[in-house]
Amino acid sequence: MSARILDGAALAKQVKLELRDRIAAFTAAQGRPPGLGIVLAGDDPSSEIYVRNKLKSAGESGLRADLHRLPGSASLADVLAVVAALNASPDHDGILVQSPLPPGLGKTAEQVVFDAVDPAKDVDGFHPDNVGRLVQKRPRLVACTPVGVMELLDRSGVAVDGAHAVVIGRSDIVGKPVALLLMHRNATVTVCHSRTRGLAELCASADILVAAVGRAAFVTPEFVKPGATVIDVGINRVADAATVERLYPADSPRRGQFARNGSIVVGDVHPAVWEVAGAMTPVPGGVGPLTIAFLLSNTLKAAEARCSGSR
């Protein structure tokens, strides 16, 4: 492995440590901790894990976080009623509706629910008010994963100003906001997606390559300029032995993990890219932990803004 490791897990720990004093100061001043309400509808196994981790991290940092659980049979009106109650709650500064919502609610349900969250409590940064503010470069609450990516670049000393950044993926959650944040920091940004022609060549011109595709090991060495910084946002569970054997040599610890657990989490970037990139995030331990750290940060930010009356 030749690329420098961009250690998101270590940075997440540091960010949470930095938040702890501010959370304690808020709690002392307001007589209550910043509050986060998490809405979970249905029983998607990955969502269960994500929500458990968010609750645990929030508790460890001194936030109050509570879970509002709805059955998979819940109607859209049921979900909206919980969101309305959290909007009105004086003890909740942040609201997070765990995605995906049960498929029975229909394709547009998620946006309807995100639109219903009070923008001042929208710690996921998905409300159109917050998205619009980001586009206009006067952000308030910005999606957690893209904020984590930018913080990791900054604190790792990666130069963004004037760099060519290529983002693979144009989702509302990752691709678009990270592209906007990079552009606002004076990167020249190319956004790629499933209809992009000549993807590998475009990516190979990037100084900073952000992969948010959702396909295991999709980004192979020919996508990467030697020495480039590669940010792997992907979280893909691989449960097939042939794929694990293709990606990792026999002595790789990943093989052992797979043998023990029956599956492993793999990023969007092929492990062979470690030999080409100059710096790169691992999966796991890269962008994932930062997403949670910046959820806590956004909750505190929302709480401070609400209590200072600047909402």
Q: Name the site residues for ligand NAP (rule: CB under 6 A).
A: 145, 168-171, 173-175, 192-196, 199, 212-215, 233-236, 287-288, 291
Active site residue 124: yes
| The one catalytic residue among 44, 118, 122, 124 | 124
> What is the side-by-side order of every strand in the sheet holding 208-211?
4-5, 279-280, 229-232, 208-211, 164-168, 188-192
Q: How far is the CB of 274 from ligand NAP (least distance, A)?
A: 18
25 C-beta neighbours (distance < 10 Å), count: 12
Contacts of residue 36, defined as CB under 8 A and 6 or more positions apart, other chains included, come to: 54, 58, 63, 64, 65, 66, 92, 93, 94, 95, 96, 123, 295, 299
Q: How far is the CB of 101 from ligand NAP (least distance, A)?
A: 14
Q: Which is nearer to ligand NAP, 109 or 168 (CB)?
A: 168
Active site residue 54: yes
Active site residue 98: yes
Q: Which is nearer to ligand NAP, 39 or 192 (CB)?
A: 192
Q: Which is nearer to ligand NAP, 137 or 237 (CB)?
A: 237
| The one catalytic residue among 16, 44, 54, 93 | 54
Across 289-298, b (16+ Cβ under 10 Å) vs e yields: bbbbbbbbbb
Distance of CA 266 to the CA centre of its chain: 15
Q: Which is nearer to ligand NAP, 136 or 194 (CB)?
A: 194
Q: How far is the CB of 282 from ligand NAP (least distance, A)?
A: 11
Q: How far is the CB of 99 from ligand NAP (least distance, A)?
A: 8
Alpha carbons 98 and 125: distance in angstroms, whole number: 13
Q: Which is nearer to ligand NAP, 105 or 199 (CB)?
A: 199
Q: Which is nearer to ligand NAP, 138 or 197 (CB)?
A: 197
| The one catalytic residue among 98, 118, 176, 225 | 98
136 C-beta neighbours (distance < 10 Å), count: 10
**CA separation (Å) from 215 to 220, 233, 234, 258?**
12, 10, 7, 18
Across 31-67, b (16+ Cβ under 10 Å) vs e yields: eebbbbbbbbbbebeebeebbeebbebbeebbbbbee
Q: How far is the CB of 269 from ligand NAP (least distance, A)?
A: 11
Alpha carbons 92 and 99: distance in angstroms, whole number: 19
Alpha carbons 68 and 73: distance in angstroms, whole number: 15
Phi and psi, residue 191, nearest 5°: -105, 125
State whether residue 242 is helix, strand or coil: helix
What positions carry a catalytic annotation? 54, 98, 124
